Structure 1
Amino acid sequence: MKQFRKYADLPIIGPVVKKLMNLVVSQKANQISKHFAEYLSPVVALTDELRNESYKIRHKVYCEELKFEDLRPDEMETDQFDSHSTHCLIKHIPTGEYAGTVRIVRSTSEEQLLPIEKYCISSIADDAVHPSDFPRSEICEISRLAVPAQFRKRATDKFKGSATGAINEHIYSERELRCFPFIAVGLYLCAASTSRKHDIKHCFVMMEPRLARSLRFVGIPFQQVGPVVEYHGKRAPYYISRHLLMSGLTPGFKRMLKNIEKKVATQFK
């Protein structure tokens, strides 16, 4: 795929190359969707027990490994935003272990700020989409995405994998490896499904540009709305709407989203 990208913006052959790239991505997405459903399952943390699983993963990644936060005696990383958040997990079906977590921070009043509003509001450009542009009940922020070390490809990876989803190929089967680089994608799609249940239409997130490029490649077109700043590493503010998500996803990943939505819907019942 890399050898094609340098030709994608050239005149005449560029459109043909892009169509070929889209075809390859679509075919891979169909395979990933199938394998994801076989080995991984979305879980909405609707109980204290499941929420604690999310906090434990966050502690391992954000406190023990990345050292973004101080170690906690109870080994659970929590903050003031968790009280008005919905937490999602990805479960590894064969082992029953949780392969990642993410949260959707909601806002029901002007006083109930999103993390990006409290800590990084100055990073959003003046002429860009802003949380204040929408009713509070229709906005959210996706944050605290974390994938445990045992589900990542290399423990020494500088990117650390809190948002990559690659895993240790010496522990898991070759077939399982095909879907694990998309744990992060699965978490975002689980968050999207959960957000739709709450009728949320607009989402903000602070993320590494590298992750944003990866998500855009599979059809999740987060729009950068400000410059890169130092916030637990180099991150930038991004925005996506429900319409942008649904119009951007490739057919294969739309199928993956529909499968995740079905499983999420049964949990809310």
Structure 2
Amino acid sequence: MEGKANKPILERLGNFVGHNNKLGKAITGYAKYREANQIATHFSRYLLPVVATTEAMKAQSYQIRHNVYCEELKLEAERSNKQETDEFDSYSIPCLIQHVSTKTMAGTVRMVRPTTPEQLLPIEKYCLNAISHSPLLPTRFSRDNICEISRLAIPAQFRRRSMDKFAGAQLGGLNPETFSQTELRCFPFIAVGLYLTAAALIIKHDIEHVYVMVEPRLAKNMRLVGIKFKQIGPVIDYHGPRAAHHIDLQSLKHGLSAGFAAMRDDIITKLSVDDDDS
């Protein structure tokens, strides 16, 4: 009885009337619509998408990357300035997610956008031989029609969902008690929010071909929300097991599930993507 009582009223009503009739379908449709809005509302209540348009904001992105890639994962050498940067940052747009109540940055990713022939994507410079699906080689397309999403980094304190596993929170000067249980349940959306923030820029700039070197597990998780990365090469050892993936502009515009499409649209609105952020 307790389990039934805890089920949402709409779910119980739908189960009662069935799902293969007009009333059942209407109930299911309304439930999905409400769930879609709840996802977007829940994210926007606690987390804010940000595009780094100033040097100070970019520095925050590079500091997060240093904390994760250099200090925590030991994938890159530590830098004296505590900022992890490379040659691609000169033609990249960093995106961040800010925790609203503390104003702390909860994660970052960048969109690498070449504009001249000599500017390569990271995947072109380091992993071109890992792309076995030749029709989608980035070299087949014009420079202004390709980009790469890379350097996803989320600080440890925002990857924890329970108070008793809040290791590393002190690195950001945060107290575990700062976050409510409701906020902690929202934190798994940070990676999705970062990808959707990059997607907002991609949609704005009408970039047709998007590349990412990513763990197959993360690509699978992104597909569950409708970010349908297509694997275009075998898994290789590149900072761990990763594979080249591709997604096109139309998939970013029309492929998302209802809840995350609403979240994407809310992010687009918040970014005011009509502003010049490049």
Give TM-score, length-normalised by structure 1.
0.82
- Decide which of 155, 168, 193 is 1:148's aligned counterpart: 155
CA distance in 1, matches of 2:273, 2:60: 20
Q: In the TM superposition, what whole-angstrom CA distance separates every residue of 1:180-220 from its partner, at most 9, and x where no partner exists?
A: 10100000000011122223221000000110010000111
- 1:59 aligns with 66
Q: In the TM superposition, what whole-angstrom CA distance separates every residue of 1:135-170 from its partner, at most 9, and x where no partner exists?
A: 110100000000011111279xxxxxxxxxxxx976
Q: Is 1:129 equivalent to 2:129 in the alignment? A: no
Q: Is 1:112 equivalent to 2:119 in the alignment? A: yes
Superposition pairs of residues 1-269 of structure 1, within 5 angstroms: 28-153=35-160, 172-265=179-272, 268=275
CA gap 1:65/1:73 in 2 versus in 1, 3 angstroms:
same
CA gap 1:24/1:123 in 2 versus in 1, 3 angstroms:
farther
CA distance in 2, matches of 1:76, 1:128: 36
Q: Residue type matched to 1:145 in 2?
A: L
Q: Residue type matched to 2:89 in 1?
A: D
CA distance in 1, matches of 2:267, 2:160: 24
CA RMSD of aligned residues (A): 2.5
Q: Residue type matched to 2:219 in 1?
A: A
CA distance in 2, matches of 1:151, 1:114: 28
CA distance in 2, matches of 1:70, 1:234: 20
Q: Residues 218 and 250 of structure 1 are in contact (CA less than 8 Å); yes or no, is this contact kept in structure 2?
A: yes
Structure 2 residue runs of 5 or longer lacking an equivalent are: 1-19, 163-174
Q: Residues 107 and 136 of structure 1 are in contact (CA less than 8 Å); yes or no, is this contact kept in structure 2?
A: yes
Larger Rg computed on CA atoms = 2
CA gap 1:93/1:228 in 2 versus in 1, 3 angstroms:
same
CA gap 1:149/1:237 in 2 versus in 1, 3 angstroms:
same
Give TM-score, length-normalised by structure 2.
0.80
CA gap 1:208/1:24 in 2 versus in 1, 3 angstroms:
farther
CA distance in 1, matches of 2:222, 2:177: 26
CA distance in 1, matches of 2:274, 2:117: 30
Q: Residues 235 and 242 of structure 2 are in contact (CA less than 8 Å); yes or no, is this contact kept in structure 1?
A: yes
CA distance in 1, matches of 2:88, 2:29: 38
CA gap 1:229/1:36 in 2 versus in 1, 3 angstroms:
same
* 1:172 shift after superposition: 1.7
CA gap 1:250/1:154 in 2 versus in 1, 3 angstroms:
closer
**Total equivalences in the alignment:** 240
